[in-house]
Structures are given as structure tokens and as C-alpha cells.
Amino acid sequence: MADTCVQVLLGSGLTVLSHPLMYIKVLIQVGHEPLPPTLGRNLFGRQVYQLPGLFAYAQHIIRIDGKVGLFKGLGPRLCAGTIGTLVHGRVVQTCQERGSPQILGGEQKAADGSLQKVVNETTREMLARSCATIVTHPFHVITLRCMIQFIGRETKYSGVLDSIVTVYREEGVLGFFAGLIPRLLGDVFSLWICNLLAHFLNTYAIDESMSHTGEIRNCSQAVTGFFASMLTYPFVLVSNLMAVNNCGLAGGLPPYASVYPTWVDCWRHLSREGNMSRGNSLFFRKLPAGKLYAVEQKRFF
């Protein structure tokens, strides 16, 4: 119980610190570009039109809403983090007590084969993360909708309880799970890619006789995690867009977003437009090729 409380407190602290970054990322993912591009130079010294980065975007939000404005949607996000930590811990504990599931053999056999152990442990972690994601997704949806209200200066989603009532009244139970499928797929793919790739690197690329083997393995885990997150980023983007799609807010309606019948349609549209990585970078952002900036609508066409 003490360990869980510590995890909740640490997670809440990290959530508060990282919230402005997520807030700006979500606005960029939706397509809101309130500041025009400026002429600058890239890493090779070539002149290019650059988009405002994290700090310029943050200053713009502060000028309009003050520093507190950087923390819109923090309440439901903290709820999601706390509940998610509790659910994740409970599922992991249940799997350990029951000794299940086993994909490539029992505990003894898994202990004898490193790959079997990785597969079984990853399966348990997948179940725990998936359960936590499903339970907390309604709070994730509310968080995103609170954030994109900045675009149209709306106040439709103001509190956690009021937002729950609003979503249920307008969209029913399914409204709480908008964008859930691509989010689950992205989490599952990212977890398996990270763990399996790290296993193969640690097994075949790192020699036990090497010095600082433990540090190298930790580094390889971090590198594979970053690589996996890059590969699965389109699922994150599509999930967030579907969570706010056609929700009655300016950020979920044209011109910022088309009305997509399914997440597959959203994926195809972004792919055709070359926007599958939109919002992935917050520092080195260049003007999209072939796009024009519309000052009045504050977005690209």
C-alpha cells in the first residue's frame, strides 16, 4: 500500500510538471497554429520557414490566459493517473498471485528460457496497462476536450463532474471511449516492440564481459522505448483526434478537423495529407511542404 501511495504521488508530480507540454502538443495535433511561421535557419544553415516551438507557443498561451492557462485539463488528467496507477498495480498483483497468464510455458520453463520470460512478463504488463487504459479513458477524453477549448474560447467542459454529465447527455456511454481502440493498439504495439527489441539487443549485441553491462542494458531499454514510441506515434495522434472529433467544440470540427466516421478514416485522411507525425516535435518545426498559412483561421491548408 505504501509503495502504491508513493507511485501515485510521484506520478501526480510528474503529471503536473509535464502538463503544459502535453497541452501544447494536443493543440498542435489538432492543427491550431496561432502564430505565423518565421524565417530562420535549420541545422545546416539553410533558410527555412519555421513554426513556433514549445516556448513561443507557451508564451502565447500565457499572454491570453496567464500562467494558469497552461494547466487546463489538469484535474481530469490527475484523476486518470491516480486511478490508472491503482488499477495497474491491482492487475499486476493478481497476475502474480495466480501465476497467469503463461504464453510460452509455465514459470519454471519461463525461467529457463529468457525469451519465454520476456514474453510472459510482457503479456502480464500488457493486460495491466490495457485495463488501466480502458478504465481511465473517459478522463483522458475529458482532458483533451478541456484543452482544445482554448481554440474556440469555449467553456463547455469546466469540471470533472460537469464534463461527465455533458459527455453522457450528448453522446451516451460510447462518448467516454472515443479514440480508445487506436490508443490501445498503440500501447500494445509500443510495449511489445520495446521489450522484444531490448531483449534481442541485450542478448545478442551486449557481451557479458563488457564493462558497465548493467548501465548499457538500461540505456538500451531507454533507446528501444524511444524508438517504439516514434513508430507508434500515429496511433496516439489518431486517438487524440478521435477523442475530440465532432464533440461540438471548434477544435473538433472543420476547419481544424474533418468529421471522421471511424478512426480508420481519420488515419487514411492524415496519411493522404502527410500529417501522421503532426505534433511529434515541439522544438524543430518547419513549415509543411506545399502548405499555406491562413492568418484568420490560424492553421495550414
Q: Residue 113: is its pLDDT beyond 70?
A: no
Residues 201, 217: Cα–Cα separation, whole Å = 8
**CB of 25 closer than 8 Å to CB of 54:** no
pLDDT band at 285 (very low <50, low <70, confident <90, very high): confident
E runs forming strands in 21-130: 38-41, 47-50
CATH architecture, range 1-97+123-273: Alpha/alpha barrel (1.50)
Q: Check the CA dihedral 165-170-173-176 and report its sign.
A: negative
Phi, psi of 69 (to 5 degrees): -65, -20
Segment 165-207, tens digit of pLDDT: 999 999 999 999 999 999 999 999 999 999 999 888 887 766 6
Distance CA 243, CA 175 (A): 8
276: phi then psi, degrees, rounded to nearest 5: -70, -15
Three-state DSSP at 76 gives helix
- The pLDDT value recorded for residue 207 is 60
The segment with the largest mean pLDDT, out of 100-109, 128-137, 247-256, is 128-137
Phi and psi torsions of 48, nearest 5°: -145, 155
Q: How far apart, in whole angstroms, are the C-alpha atoms of residue 253 and residue 246?
A: 6
Q: How confident is the model at residue 35 (pLDDT cuts 50, 70, 90)?
A: confident
pLDDT, tens digit (0-9, with 9 covering 90-100), for 241-274: 999 999 999 999 987 788 999 999 999 999 998 8
Contact predicate 252/246, CB 8 Å: yes
Q: What phi and psi values does residue 266 have, to the nearest 5 degrees?
A: -60, -45
Please compute the mean of the pLDDT values over residues 149-158 and round it to a whole number.
Answer: 92
Identify the CA nearest to 145 among candidates 27, 60, 235: 27
